[in-house]
Amino acid sequence: MAITSIKNLKEFSTVNERFEGAHLLCPGCAHSMIVRELMNATDDNLVISSATGCLEVCTAVYPYTSWDTSWIHIGFENAASAVSGAEAMYKARKRKGTLKDPDAPVKFVAFGGDGATYDIGFQWLSGAVERGHDFTYICLDNENYANTGGQRSSATPVGAHTTTAQAGRVSYGKKQKKKDMVAIMAAHGAPYVAQLAPNKWKIMAKGFQKALETEGPCFINTVSACTTEWKFDPKDTIHITDLATDTLMFPIYEIIDGHELNILYRPKNIIPVEEYLAAQGRYKHLFKPENKHVIERIQKEIDEKWEYLQRREESRV
Amino acid sequence: MKGVLPTDRRGVRELGAEDLVGWDEVTHGVVLNSFDGIVEDVAQVAPEERPYSDFNSYTATVASWRVIKPVYNRDICIDCQNCWVWCPDTSIISRDKQMLGIDYDHCKGCGVCVEVCPTNPKSLLMFAEAQEPEDALAKWPEKKKKEKK
């Protein structure tokens, strides 16, 4: 069984792509960068299910499909259930000896946006992880329901303007904290849980390979910068993601077996969060004098989280 | 699936008794085949050799989305493959560790490849869609000298 070499980018680039162009995602969308990276990180056969969301809607516009692998879309909530059903059937048929090629390696992957993961598909994902199916769930976290016009989700961070948590005279956008999905999935006792970002392609490809190789349910939360709803220029997708990881808005780390936490990327210079907020249109109201306390709150929460992660890493509990 | 079902004036299918299925039967959704015929192991077949079907979005184009397009300058490129790894539209054609060019059928002109290009001057630059590549290459900027502080 062959796993693609990711020693350096030149070797990585020799893989044969299995995700085709001319899908209808926005120019500069990070979703397709993440999907390409996952599909290029392995040579194995893939069985993919997608929850409803930008990715599903844009890659399977009738009569076209952008996937050169087995791919299914069913509902908003049940990407995890669909892929666990496929995995259970694969195991059963392997046991009965009715598979055409029983030795061919097959990996099961589910994609969901943050709406499908944090909110609508949460119970289904929790169930699939609890049952212990051998699959990898990848959350493409763009922090809102981008497909339907940018409504707030429970992944939307404090202070962000969305169409259902608007910033204006009386409000500064979303007031509630973002749900810590990585910690929730780690608490399920999943063997591999991680938070990754597409700008660090090597860490990301390694994380994907690790998740695919690990037997049992794996969860990966990926940062997917959304040019349309975060309101920045399409060409800046990687720049914004760089800012997200260097301000520690999105720390990159993994949790193995629910307790062993490793920080995978430590920025050399930690940038103040203002720079990340100023680069995006959805935060522009925070720079009014009356909203200064929100930026202070965001910075304080980031510092606390980073301190917590570092202590968790040291203590190995 | 059971035969062709009657349709009303607008061509919409009416549900009839024959549409109802038992608890142990399955109705198929829409199945789109990416390839004509069977490809044994897609990951081992180069895109040029794949028998793409008409359903595959590879056969479609989004070229009309572009207002600006990236132009590639082979002379400056160092084949770092940064553009390849971050292209959201699978539009950077890269074979045997070499960057060959841009797939203008699938490029949407987002400009990510230009932003991540590390050479000086950049080996990919954005130009107006109507600009001829030869004219664009003739206008390529000179190497920028580092400013002393």
* Domain residue ranges of chain B, discontinuous segments joined by +: 1-60, 62-138
Question: How near does any CA of chain A get to the CA of B95, in Å?
Answer: 6
The pLDDT assigned to A163 comes to: 94
**Residue in A194, A77, A160, A66 with CA at minimum distance from that of residue B60:** A66
Q: For residues A33 and A55, what is the distance between their CA atoms, to the nearest angstrom?
A: 11
The pLDDT assigned to A57 comes to: 92
Question: How near does any CA of chain A get to the CA of B45, in Å?
Answer: 7
A46: helix, coil or strand? strand
CATH 3.40.1180.10 is right for the domain spanning B62-138: no
The pLDDT assigned to B7 comes to: 56
Residue A315 has, within 13 A of its CA and on its CB side, a CA count of: 8
Chain A residues close to B88, C-beta within 8 Å: 25, 27-33, 36, 237
Q: Each residue of A84-121: pLDDT tens digit?
A: 999 999 999 999 999 988 888 899 999 999 999 999 99
Phi, psi of A7 (to 5 degrees): -60, -50
Q: What is the 3-state secondary structure (H, E, C) of chain B?
A: CCCCCCECCCCCECCCHHHCCCCCCCCCCCCCCCECCCCCCHHHCCHHHCCECCCEHHHCCCHHHCCEEEEECCCCCCCCCHHHHHCCCCCEEEECCEEEEECCCCCCCCCHHHHHCCCCCCCEEEEECCCCHHHHHHCCCCCCCCCCC
Tell me the H-state helices in chain A.
Answer: 9-12, 30-40, 54-59, 79-96, 114, 122-131, 181-187, 201-213, 237-246, 273-278, 292-315
Of chain B, the percentage scoring pLDDT greater than 70 comes to: 84
Predicted complex ipTM exceeds 0.85: yes
Q: Which of B108, B124, B125, B127 to mutate to test the interface with A (most CBs of A within 10 A)?
A: B108
Q: In this structure, are residues B43 and A39 in contact, taking their beta carbons and an 8 Å threshold? A: no
CATH code reported for the domain at A9-315:
3.40.50.970
Residue A31 has pLDDT above 90, yes or no: yes
Q: In this structure, are residues A103 and A90 in contact, taking their beta carbons and an 8 Å threshold? A: no
The pLDDT assigned to B1 comes to: 42
A248: left (phi over 0), alpha (psi -120 to 50) or beta: left
Residue of chain B whose Cα is closest to the Cα of A44: B43
Average model confidence (pLDDT) across chain B: 85
**pTM score of the predicted model:** 0.90
Q: Each residue of A49-78: pLDDT tens digit?
A: 999 999 999 999 888 999 999 999 988 999
Question: How near does any CA of chain A get to the CA of B63, in Å?
Answer: 9
The pLDDT assigned to A1 comes to: 44
pLDDT band at A225 (very low <50, low <70, confident <90, very high): very high
Q: Number of CB pairs < 8 Å for A and B?
A: 144
Residue A153 has pLDDT above 50, yes or no: yes
**Residues within 8 A of A (CB atoms), B 32-71 only:** 32, 34-35, 41-47, 50, 54-58, 60-62, 65
The pLDDT assigned to A86 comes to: 95
A50: helix, coil or strand? strand
Position with higher pLDDT, B17 vs A64: A64
The pLDDT assigned to A81 comes to: 95
Partner-chain contact A21 B89, CB within 8 Å: yes
Q: In this structure, are residues A62 and A262 in contact, taking their beta carbons and an 8 Å threshold? A: no
Of chain B, the percentage scoring pLDDT greater than 90 comes to: 55
